[in-house]
Amino acid sequence: MRVRRVVAVSLSLVLAGGALSVAAPAGAAVSTGFAAVVPAPVSAAASGAGYGITSATTIATDSAPVGQYLAAILRRSTGYPLPVKTPSGGSAGIALLLSGAPAQVGDEGYTLDVTGSGVVIRARKAAGLFEGVQTLRQLLPSTVESRTVKPGPWPVPGGHVLDYPRFAYRGAMLDVARHFFTVAQVERYLDEIALYKVNRFHLHLSDDQGWRIAITGWERLASYGGGTEVGGGPGGFYTQDDYKAIVAYAQQRFITVVPEIDMPGHTNAALASYAQLNCDGKAPPRYTGTDVGFSSLCVSKDITYTFIDAVFGQLAALTPGPYLHIGGDEAQSTKPADYAKFINRVQQIVAGHGKAVLGWHDIVNATPLPSTVAEFWDTSTSNPAVAAAAKHGTKLVLAPANHAYLDMKYTTSTKLG
């Protein structure tokens, strides 16, 4: 599935000298009938008659959760019963099978065949069936995504698709720190990025303008630090049960959550909540503007690392995925030598909780651990420090702001909106 265009805020892809990626064949062809599928499949070819979903269609599946997921989407727009059953060898209309897929599709790839008698998606893992279902959704008329019953018809064009990911990490970020979004809104966002086969959800939980996750023992982070946002709105925060619900919803869509607590900069919400995190022992007022680079945890205080250990310890226990994102960007108020010592110490704290570090590319100015991944957000095409880190084995996630941030203008003359 070659990424053809940005589909979500801060969409990011892994680049690690091929270590985490599976390259699509050069010149992979996509026929006109399948040209609307995003990301573009490795290969697709139209052939023969298509299939029409009707009230008699059933879904036979080797993965009950994926089958029920597809049925729920189709039922609300078609009004058809679409019973879900286990494969029995007969004609099902739609079959989702964990057999017969070539080895090259890996864990997330699939084949999709559409003939006059039905639709067959084959994969080696349930994640592959799920991704095949996203392609099926895109091949149907757009009204299939309606949340109310529509009249149809529901044709699927005939043909064959072979698809598997070029990039192992296909991420989308949502900044809930500057502007808070409810659990329901986050779940809607997860639904949208799943349709485009995104498999990592980077959740930006803290910044100068707000702290969005409850931490036991540090309750003012959420109750006070979470009480505002950019422009002075009411803000908000997630309880730990809320966060668990987001993680579970993402898992059902084969998406791994990567939570971010930005530090040592972008920390005014935390500094305003607890005076002892400031070097002068005085809490600043809460902040609702958009400037950056003015805040910093007091990196020389032991209480700072007690705080960090508590935050990442609780997040690690709540997060099944392998990464915790430590931010690390735009720390202009932290001296370079102190910054490097801080990042190195935080990496050890995260590792102590059984997780690997993901951080903005600024962290390469410290000493990345072998398991650490740096996320490149800059607009520059030349960054010697990042290039050197990559040369020495640090894996990179690419999220260049001028290409991957949907709230940025394409050029200075581009109209907003």
The identity of residue 6, as a single letter, is V
25-29, 126-130, 268-272, 332-336: which has the minimum mean pLDDT? Answer: 25-29
- Name the 3-class secondary structure at 47: coil
**Which CATH superfamily does the domain covering 170-404 fall into?**
Glycosidases (3.20.20.80)
The residues assigned a catalytic role are 330
pLDDT range class, residue 7, cuts 50, 70, 90: very low
Average pLDDT over residues 323-338: 98
Percent of the chain with pLDDT over 70: 91
How many residues are present in the chain? 417
Average pLDDT for 331-346: 98
Rounded to an integer, what distance in angstroms lies between the CA atom of residue 351 and that of residue 345? 10
Q: Which residues contact 177 (CB under 8 A, 6 or more apart)?
A: 204, 205, 206, 207, 209, 210, 211, 212, 229, 262, 269
Instruction: Using the predicted structure, report yes or no on whether residue 5 has a pLDDT greater than 90.
Output: no
Mean pLDDT score, 100-126 = 98
- Mean pLDDT for the stretch of residues 144-148: 96
Contact 396, 361 (CB under 8 A): yes
Residue type, position 320, single letter: P
Report the top-level CATH class of 25-163: alpha beta
Domain borders along the chain are: 25-163, 170-404
Determine the pLDDT at residue 240.
99
Mean pLDDT across the stretch 187-191? 98
